[in-house]
Structure 1
Amino acid sequence: MNKKILYFCSLFISVIMLSGCGSKGDSEKSTSKNYPVKILELKNENNPVSLEYEGITGGSEVRKLSFKSSGKVSKICVSKGQEIKKGDTLVELDKSDLNFAMEASKAQMDSASAQYDKAVNGAQQEDISKADIAVKNAQDNYNYYKDLYDKNVKLYNSGAISKQDLNSCKLQLDSTVSALNAAKQSLQQLQNGSRSEDKQALSAQVNAAKADYDSKANLVQDGTLAADSDGYVVDILCKEGEMQPAGNPVILVRSKNQVVTIGLSSDDVKKVKIGAKAQVKVNNNKVDGEISNIVQMSDKTSGTYSAEIKLLKPVDNKTFYVGDTVKTYISMGNKNGIWIPISSILNDGEDYVYVSENGRAVRKNVTLGATDEGKVSAEGLKSGDKLIIEGMKNIKAGYSLKAK
C-alpha cells in the first residue's frame, strides 16, 4: 500500500512540474518582451466632415472660337499662352468680299426705305403738277383722235375710205383712251396718297432689306474675332493666308475663372448642392472654392455625375495647368465624436485597432464613418482610450507594451 501511495505522489509531482514548464514558455512571448509602440490618448473632437475626390483642373473653361462666315485669315494678333483682355482682337479675316456684300445690301435697304417714305409722306406738289400736265396732254391727244375718228366714220359711210382705214383710226383712239385713264389714275393716287395695304407691303420690304443688311454687317464685324472675356490663349489652330470654313475652330481660349471638374457618386450627388463650400489642393496649397455646377445626367462610362468647383481665389496661372489632377474636399459640415488616424486601422475582414490597457494590447473592432483628410470618425472607442498609432503591426492581443 505504501508503495502505491508513493507512486501516485511521484506521478502527481511530475505532472505539476511539466505543467509549470509549459505555461512558462507561452507567457514568455507576452511577458518577457515589451513591444515598443506609440500611443495617442483619445478624446472627443469636433472636426469638419468632407467628401474627398480627385478632380481635373480647368476642363470646362477651355472654349473653341470660330468665325460665322468662311474666309481667308489675314492676321493673327495673339500668341499661344498670351494673357488677353475682353475686347482684344485675336484673329482677322480678309473682309473685301464681306464689305462688298454689305454695301450692296445697304443700297437695297435705302431704296426700299425711300419708297416707303414716299408712300407715307405723300407726293410732292411738283409730282402732282407733273401728273396734272400729263392728264391734260393725254386729254388733248384723246380729243384729237376722237375728232379724227368721227370724221373717218363719216368718210366710211360715204364710201371714201375703207373699213381697214376706219379700224386703224379706232385703234389709235382706244390707245389714247387707255393713256388718258392711266394718267388720271396716277394723278388721283398722288392726290389721295397710297393705300394702307400698299404701305404695309412697302414696310415689309423695308424690314426685309434691313434684316439682310444687319446680317451682312454682322458678318463684317465677325470678320474680326475678339475676346469676349478676360483669359489666356491655349492654342492657335490656324495660319495666316489659310482659308477657314464657317464654324471651324481657329483658336482655343480659357477664361480666368479657374475650375476643377469632379465625378460625384450616385450617393454623394444627392448630398451636394450648388454653392457648397469646397477646398482644392493645388501644389500642396489649399484653395477655397464652391460647387458652381452639377450635371443632372450620369456619365455613361463611369456612372458618375460631373460637377464643377470654382476657385474663389485664383492661383497663379503659371502653376495652374489645364488637365492636372488635384485633390478636392467638399464640406459636409462638422461631426463631434472620436476621430482616429486612418493609418492606425488594421483589417482582417473587419476593421480593428489596438488600444493599451494596463500595459497590454487589446483589440477593438471599429465602425468607420466620415473622413477629414488623414482622420476618420470611429465607433467602438471612447474618450480616454489609449490608441496604438505606431507599432501595431508587430503585436497581437495580450502582448506586453512599452510606450514611447
Structure 2
Amino acid sequence: MTSTSELAPTCVPALPSSVVSKPSPQPWVLWLLPLALFPTGVFTARHSFIANAEPTPLATTLSVTTQPAQAINSYTVQRTYTGEITAQRTSELGFERSGTVVTLLADEGDRVAAGQPLARLDIRNLQARRQERVAQRAQAQAQLQELQNGPRSEDISAAQAAVWELEQELERAKRQRDRRQFLYDEGAIAYEDFDDAAYNTAILEQRLARAKSDLQELNNGTRSEQIIAQHARVQQLDAQIQALDVDISKSVIYAPFAGKVSDRPIDEGVVVGSGATVVTLVEQGNLEARIGVPEDRVSQLKVGGAQKVQIGDNTYRATVTAQLPEVDETSRTVTVVLQLPADVATQVGQTARLLFADIEPTDGVWVPSTALVPGDRGLWSVYVLGDANNSENNSTYAVARRDVEVLHTEGDRTLVRGTIQGQDQVITNGTHRVVTRQTVQVTSE
C-alpha cells in the first residue's frame, strides 16, 4: 500500500525574479537588424551631403548685367533735426503803472508801425497834480527873483523913518523917566509911577535896536544862502513836474517795433495793474528757426555758415546766427538759431527742419540695392563675376557669392562691407536665377 507522502506532489522553492533570465533572441533576428538600419543611414548621409555641397552649376549660360562696386572710406548721411519758427522779437506790452484803460487803438491781427500808440490809461488825476506843481513853481520862482533883486529903496527909506521915529520917542521917554525919578526922590509921586516910565523907556530901546537891525539887513542886501535855498525849491518843483510828465507818457503804450498784434486780452474800462499784459506784439519780416541739435553734432554748425531749412514743402538757405550755451535737460540738445531769408512766407510757430549733411567715416562698398539677396545668419549676399572662361566667340564667367553686412541705404544703392572688394563686378539683375559657379556672360556693363 502506497503511503500518503509518496502520493503528495514535491514542493520546489520559487526563485527570485532577478535570477530568472529572459529568453535570448533567436540568431536570425540579429542578422536582420543591420539590414533594417542601412536605408536610414544612407538617407541621412545623402541629405547631409546635399545640404553641405555647393549647388551644381547649370550648363545653361545666362546673360546678366553688372556694375562695378565702388569702395569708399566715408559717406554722407542726410540727417534731419526738428524745431520751430520764432520771431526775433516778441513783446508782451503793459503799463508801468496801474490805472483804468480808456482807449485801445489796435486789435488782434493788426499790423502796426514802430512808435504807434496802442493803448491809453486815464490821466486826469495826473494832469491835476501837474497843474498844482506848476502853480507852486511859479510862486517859488517869484520869490527867488525877489531875493536876487535885493531890497527896494522904498523899503530902506521906510526902515530909516521907523528908526528916526523910535529915536524921538525914546528921547521923550527918557526925559519923562528922569522927571519922575526926581519927583519920586522928592516924595511927590509913588514908586509905581516912576517904574512905569522906566519900563516904557526900556521897551522903546528894544524896538529901536530891532529897527536898526532891520535897516542894516536891508542895507547889506539878500544873503546868498537864501538865494541858494530858494533856487533849490524851484528845482524840486521842476523835478516833480518832470516825474508827472513821465507818468503821463507811461500812460500810453507805444509799439517798440513794427509788427503784428497777436493777442489783446484787455478791453476798455478794465483796471489793470502794473506790468499786466495788454497787447502782445510779434515782429514781422525777421523770422528765425530755433532747432535742437545733438551735442556731438553742433560743433559742425559754424556761426555765419549756410544751412538748408525745410518749412512745409519748401526748402530755404538759412544762416546760423547763434548757438545757445545751455543744453536742454529733456532732449539733451543745443538750440541753434538760424536766420531765415526776408522773403520767407511762413507763420510763427510752424515746424522747421534742419537738413544737415553729416559725414560718417567708415570703410565700405556701394552696390546697387537690386544686387542684394538674403544670406545666412542675418547677413546679405551679392553675386559677382568670378573667374573668366575665355572662348573664341565671347567671354563667360563663373558666378561667385560674397557675404556682406548692410551699413546704409541711400536711394537705389546700398553701402555694405564684407568679403566683397572694390574691384568686383556686381551682378545687378536676375539674381534669383543665379547660383554659385553658374556660367554667365555680360551683356552690358
In 2: Cα distance, 1:19 partner to 1:334 partner: 46
Query: 1:71: how far off?
Result: 1.5
The answer as to whether partners of 1:142 and 1:180 remain within 8 angstroms in 2 is no
1:292 corresponds in structure 2 to 321
* Residue 143 (1) aligns with residue 167 (2): yes
2:224 corresponds in structure 1 to 194
Please report the TM-score for the alignment, with normalisation by the length of structure 1.
Answer: 0.67
Aligned with residue 247 of structure 2, among 213, 219, 222: 219
Q: Deviations over 1:41-91 (max 9, x none)?
A: 658799999874311221663210011121211121111111111122211
Please report the TM-score for the alignment, with normalisation by the length of structure 2.
Answer: 0.62
Query: 1:327: how far off?
Result: 0.7
Change (3 A) 1:147 1:332: farther
% identical aligned pairs: 17
The answer as to whether partners of 1:149 and 1:173 remain within 8 angstroms in 2 is no
Aligned with residue 214 of structure 2, among 179, 182, 188: 182
The answer as to whether partners of 1:276 and 1:330 remain within 8 angstroms in 2 is no
Structure 2 letter corresponding to 1:100: A
Greater share of helix: 1
Q: How does 1:3-402 map to 2 (within 5 A)?
A: 18=46, 22-23=50-51, 27=55, 42=70, 52-58=80-86, 61-112=89-140, 122-123=148-149, 127-158=151-182, 159=184, 161-190=193-222, 194-195=224-225, 198-199=227-228, 201-256=229-284, 257-269=286-298, 272-316=301-345, 319-320=346-347, 322-329=348-355, 357-358=384-385, 362-364=402-404
User: Which stretch shifts more, 276-285 or 39-48?
Assistant: 39-48
Which of the pair has more CA radius of gyration? 2
The answer as to whether partners of 1:276 and 1:291 remain within 8 angstroms in 2 is yes
In 2: Cα distance, 1:164 partner to 1:284 partner: 116
Change (3 A) 1:296 1:42: same
Structure 2 letter corresponding to 1:258: L
In 2: Cα distance, 1:389 partner to 1:194 partner: 109
The answer as to whether partners of 1:91 and 1:225 remain within 8 angstroms in 2 is yes
More RCO (CA 8 Å, sep 6+): 1
Query: 1:140: how far off?
Result: 2.6
Change (3 A) 1:267 1:220: same
Query: 1:228: how far off?
Result: 1.4
The answer as to whether partners of 1:278 and 1:331 remain within 8 angstroms in 2 is no
Query: 1:339: how far off?
Result: 11
In 1: Cα distance, 2:280 partner to 2:176 partner: 89
The root-mean-square deviation of aligned C-alpha atoms, in Å, is: 5.4
Q: Deviations over 1:274-309 (max 9, x none)?
A: 434333221221223333344334445555444432
In 2: Cα distance, 1:208 partner to 1:388 partner: 97
User: Which stretch shifts more, 351-360 or 142-151?
Assistant: 351-360
Structure 1 unaligned blocks of 5 or more? 1-10, 346-350
Alignment length, in residue pairs?
Answer: 365
SS of 2:325's equivalent in the other structure is: coil
Change (3 A) 1:147 1:252: same
Q: Deviations over 1:350-401 (max 9, x none)?
A: x998766437774555888xxxx999x98969977889999x9x9xx98999
The answer as to whether partners of 2:366 and 2:416 remain within 8 angstroms in 1 is no
In 2: Cα distance, 1:155 partner to 1:374 partner: 140
Query: 1:186: how far off?
Result: 3.8
Structure 1 letter corresponding to 2:195: K
Structure 2 unaligned blocks of 5 or more? 1-38, 373-377, 386-398
